[in-house]
Amino acid sequence: MAHWIDSDIKLAGMLEELKSETVLAVDTEFIRTNTFHPKIALIQISNGIDCWLVDVLAVKNFDGLKMLLESSDRQLIFHACAEDLEVLDYALGITPTNIFDTQIAAGISNIGYSMGYARLVKEIFEVELDKDETRSDWLARPLTPRQLQYAATDVFYLHKLHELLSQRLEDQGRQDWFVEESLAVYAMVAGRKDSDDYYMRIKSAWKLEQGALKILKRLCIWRERTARERNKPRGHIVKDNSLVEIARRKPTSLTHLGGIDDLHPGLIKRYGLDLLVQVEAANNDVDIDALPQPLTKAEVVVLKGMRNSLITVAEKILVPQEFLFSKKDLELILRGVIAGRNDWPQRFTAGWREPLVIPILKETLSELM
């Protein structure tokens, strides 16, 4: 049964009913289309029997809910928790820590990597879920019967998945792997707040010389701050390609900003002076390392050899290859070897991957380099 919670009084009743529960399933519905920050609309909570749909737009006091979800004595079941944690933290200041993520558990137990909730439910229970409401307007009120059914279904199977996946992890002796991967997700979510290195993610940034790169870094930091303050997507402030061109040109006047792709007159009028201030200020910034150029053809061959060797390992231990390594991991290692450095990702030098990954990669590199 699903209970609609749209007042502080109803929420208090829900909290009283759930205070003794040690395991709860949780999901959120939010919209993030034309804003930087997600707009939370609904929180779904289930004890495995009933479901409570908390109307975030109607409830005023979330202190009790914060205590419920943050208790270290209570485990919360999520599926693909990263965005849920982000929206709960930003919107309500709620930061759960004792989490069982069914997506992570499914990956480690070799059911499938990064499986969506509906696909996982179909894989395990052979039940086809209706996902047509995924992108519907969750901020509208009243919600439609189909939306309410969809929201309740999103937590309905989580307890059953938790039970089955926990047993599978235990049978495979991979509980420690699961804890390690969960901690990595928490760190990743926390790291999203730090965007000082965003300039390094822009594909064409490697082409810039050091002076222009300093400008690009400062422009990206300015845009991040502006996007957060105005609650607009980064691209609605200034697009990546425009920032790169501004950094390359080093403009000193509003006139010099003209003709830059996607930097239309309206944006120049709104942000032009701010952009010029950042360009000028970058002259006083400390030097930063140049970004690496794309790998050569010969280096790509080595990278493929590293990848193939680890695919063999993944198949042997029955784990999705994406959980064992990423292309970014291998490229970091290879670039370090080329430069004479020992650049191994931390997740390779400690934890469950270390004995599986490091010996085979060292052997592969010694044969290919």
pLDDT one-digit tens code per residue, 261-272: 999 999 999 999
Nearest to 244 by CA among 220, 280, 216: 216
100, 75 contact by CB (below 8 A):
yes
260, 272 contact by CB (below 8 A):
no
CATH 1.10.150.80 domain position(s) in the chain: 198-284, 297-368
Nearest to 325 by CA among 297, 344, 300: 344
User: 345 — alpha (psi -120 to 50), left (phi > 0) or beta?
Assistant: beta
Helix extents (H) in 157-287:
158-172, 175-191, 210-230, 234-237, 240-249, 265-281
102, 162 contact by CB (below 8 A):
yes
The 10s digit of each residue's pLDDT in 323-363 is: 999 999 999 999 999 988 888 999 999 899 999 999 999 99
Report the chain's C-alpha Rg in angstroms: 24
352, 177 contact by CB (below 8 A):
yes
| Reported pTM | 0.92
CATH code for the part of the protein at 297-368: 1.10.150.80
Give dist(CA 69, CA 79) in Å, integer: 15
Q: Which of 30-34, 237-241, 253-257 has the lowest mean pLDDT?
A: 30-34
The 10s digit of each residue's pLDDT in 162-193 is: 999 999 999 999 999 999 999 999 888 887 77
Max distance between CA atoms of the chain, in angstroms, equals 68
CATH 3.30.420.10 domain position(s) in the chain: 2-191
158, 100 contact by CB (below 8 A):
no
pLDDT for 299: 95
The 10s digit of each residue's pLDDT in 52-101 is: 999 999 999 999 999 999 999 999 999 999 999 999 999 999 999 899 99
Model confidence at 134, pLDDT cuts 50, 70, 90, reads: confident
pLDDT for 189: 86
- Angle of helix 63-70 relative to helix 8-18, nearest 10 degrees, comes to 20
Give dist(CA 177, CA 362) in Å, integer: 23
- Specify the CATH architecture of the domain 2-191: 2-Layer Sandwich (3.30)
Model confidence at 224, pLDDT cuts 50, 70, 90, reads: very high
- At the top level of CATH, which class does the domain 198-284 belong to? mainly alpha
pLDDT for 190: 83
